Structure 1
Amino acid sequence: MYSDSADPAAPAPGTRERVLERVLSHGPVSAAEIGGALGLTAAAVRRHLDALEEEGFVEVKVVSAARGAGRPSRRYVVAPQAQRRLGGDHLGIALQAVDRLVEVGGEGEVRRLAADALQPVEEAFQAAVAGREMGLEERTRVLADLLDDAGYAASIRHVGAGLAPTLRAEQLCQGHCPLQGLPARHPEFCEEETALFARLLGVDVRRLSTLAAGGHVCTTHIPLGRA
């Protein structure tokens, strides 16, 4: 994905790739959080982040402290222009093919194409949960793992801890989209994906942000209290 420089001070070959992957799957994320997950000091992580920022792979997102207390924190996200570089996707060819499909068969063909593209995820999920009694949280973890394996850099964030059970939720985050650029021109891809998540989890879900709309990550809100 990204090659470490020959700098002898680099902790180990491939460390920079691991830092970038952490930003991809967990951004916005701080240097300290990355260091804690990878067993590195925050200073060592910052050196890699600075290099990645210079190369255009990541960018800084300044987050204000809660209730104005303390200094704003620097968090890192993958730069929008870097998404295609990370995936190595042939966007131009794909867009031409989909546009041609619309000319021949109409917009309905795009929705069918989107459903077909998601079918491997659906089949893998059904196979993983078949014959098992699983709650919503466990089903969400299964879905996140399958998406991560499929290249979506997926992770889960818990929200509403300490609140009433009806207010607790999980957010399914996708830091990368293997369909790079297609959903931006054809929102049917995002719509079909959201509908698939709701169908697999058996609960209404809500899309909070998407890469296609300019977000740093695709975020799907999954209300646990409605299970």
Structure 2
Amino acid sequence: MTTIRQKILAYLEKSRSASAREISRALQMSAATVRHHLRVLASDGRLELASVRWRDGRGRPEKVYSLPRAALGDNLSALSEALLTEAGTKPALSGDEVSRMEALARHLVGESSFASQPLAKRLNLTVEKLNQMNYHARWEAGPQGPRLIFSHCPYAAIIQKHPELCRMDEAMLAEWMGQPAAQIFRTGKEGSSVCVFALGNKAPPSVSPIT
């Protein structure tokens, strides 16, 4: 038997996005019932709020829901790998290739450097930015200075072929923190990897990724 929530998900898979009013009309259910199930599905992470729109400037704005982008699928991993390969990046980085990773890091960081902030605030702000980018990061004190730990690799689909992305991570940390960063440990694959980066002027040299 198909449940109401399954019907809502199936409808959104076809329509891509819709409001409670549109779903209730299509599925011939009351708007109140649909809104209830939309809230439950959204809280479970099976739906996301796509936008809020006004109806001719009258009444309350209505929420428009869609399936999460991950559920819809994309080709970003294939595109990223193709771009990196086409650019001629090799696992053993030359000076030009290191500069390319540093330039990419600066582009991703943008204007959000925290170098003027106290150390603890720099670390907290950097972790916040990293987690917005799906690194599942945290920091902890170490015997030779603070360390940043990533428990998820957002580039897991291509990192085995393009470990130079770890150099990009180092460059991003250096931009945010205003001090050198070096990867000192990496293990795992397919999104379950753990990476550790040391910070400070005495950060040890980068190590080759461990798989």
* TM bracket (short chain): 0.3 to 0.5
**TM value normalised by structure 2:** 0.47
More helix by share: 1
- The structure with the largest strand share of the pair is 2
Which of 1 and 2 has greater Rg? Answer: 2
Structure scoring higher RCO (CA < 8 A, sep ≥ 6) equals 1
